[in-house]
Homo-oligomer: A and B are copies of this chain.
């Protein structure tokens, strides 16, 4: 590999001048620029990222931090990976995957290695020790999701509050008054629970109360098997319910199958609307699930954007954004059955 010095030699200029023309960091005469560019072309020169990083104090590498143990990713969470990587590249950064257990101390290994300029955190808990750790340090970070207290913290998250209200209102409009929220559980209570589930439950409680509806909450495993089991339990325990909000992507198709196996017709007997799933999973159910689709790709992009904005323009307004889900019609919403 040719170095900058090689280019300088061939172009008969100094190393510094090569740097200036490559980075446009100082004015360079047209003649000199031409010489340098020719030499670069002839040598097939490319700037070495490591040398540059050491001199600048910036690696242009970002880390995407996600739970190491969680080894079954929903179709939705994949989109975080790929859209984040895309956006990073688009803005001249690289994204490294950083699987991590929940111990906060492992974060200092990352931030003090000097390898990354910043961190994007996924799967945020309401009281997340990793966020506390990052807040205490100097490495910029952003969240996909958000903690209970978001003061001073850049984040992008799904607007679950809006999604729940929207879903409930769709069911109300169809005449449903006995509702259920079915999710995958809040996870680790010590950490305040998993944000999306906690927020969804709260909003579900508030809106059903406010609209004068009956609302129950059930949880089950995040898998098709979990969904099938859950369907049976649900029908046994809550025969009066006719409208279901389902926030458990992996369980979706299994849940729908389980309801029908027990003799229910969708949407004649029961209406189901999924929240925050992918369109791919929704279409795998039979009949296809009506769903408020998670804006996962947008979130991945904006999560990276928020971080890079902090890095490149620290004085810009703090990026904190909630993104709405989009509705996909499907075939599991219908009028409430007459008594």
Q: Which of B46, B78, B224, B261 contacts A78 (CB 8 A)?
A: B78
Q: Which of B47, B79, B253 contacts A253 (CB 8 A)?
A: B253
Q: Which of B280, B285, B297 contacts A250 (CB 8 A)?
A: B280
- The docked-state distance in angstroms from the alpha carbon of A254 to that of B283 is 7
Asked if A280 and B223 make an inter-chain contact with CB atoms under 8 angstroms apart, the answer reads: yes
Contact with B along A58-97 (1 / 0, CB 8 A): 0101001000100111010111011001100100001111
Asked if B115 and A94 make an inter-chain contact with CB atoms under 8 angstroms apart, the answer reads: yes
Contacts A50-B50, A114-B1 given: A254-B284 contact, CB under 8 Å?
yes
> What residue of chain B has the Cβ atom nearest to residue A288's Cβ?
B224
Asked if A224 and B97 make an inter-chain contact with CB atoms under 8 angstroms apart, the answer reads: no
Asked if B75 and A283 make an inter-chain contact with CB atoms under 8 angstroms apart, the answer reads: no
CB of A59 to closest CB in B, whole Å: 6
- The docked-state distance in angstroms from the alpha carbon of A115 to that of B95 is 12
CB of A277 to closest CB in B, whole Å: 12
Does A54 interact with chain B (Cβ within 8 Å)? yes
Interfacial residues of chain A within 22-68, with CB under 8 A of chain B in the complex: 44, 46-51, 53-54, 59, 61, 64, 68
For A9, the chain B residues whose CB sits under 8 A away are: none
Asked if A94 and B96 make an inter-chain contact with CB atoms under 8 angstroms apart, the answer reads: yes
Does A257 interact with chain B (Cβ within 8 Å)? yes
- The docked-state distance in angstroms from the alpha carbon of A286 to that of B261 is 10
Q: Which of B61, B257, B284 contacts A96 (CB 8 A)?
A: B61
Contact with B along A251-286 (1 / 0, CB 8 A): 011100100110000000000000000001101111
Show 19 A/B contacts (Cβ-Cβ < 8 Å), sorted by A.
A1-B112, A44-B112, A46-B112, A49-B115, A50-B53, A51-B114, A54-B54, A61-B61, A71-B297, A77-B78, A81-B81, A86-B99, A89-B98, A89-B99, A94-B96, A225-B283, A254-B283, A254-B286, A281-B284
Known: A46-B108, A54-B54, A73-B78. 6 other contacts (CB 8 A): A50-B50, A75-B75, A86-B99, A94-B97, A224-B280, A253-B253
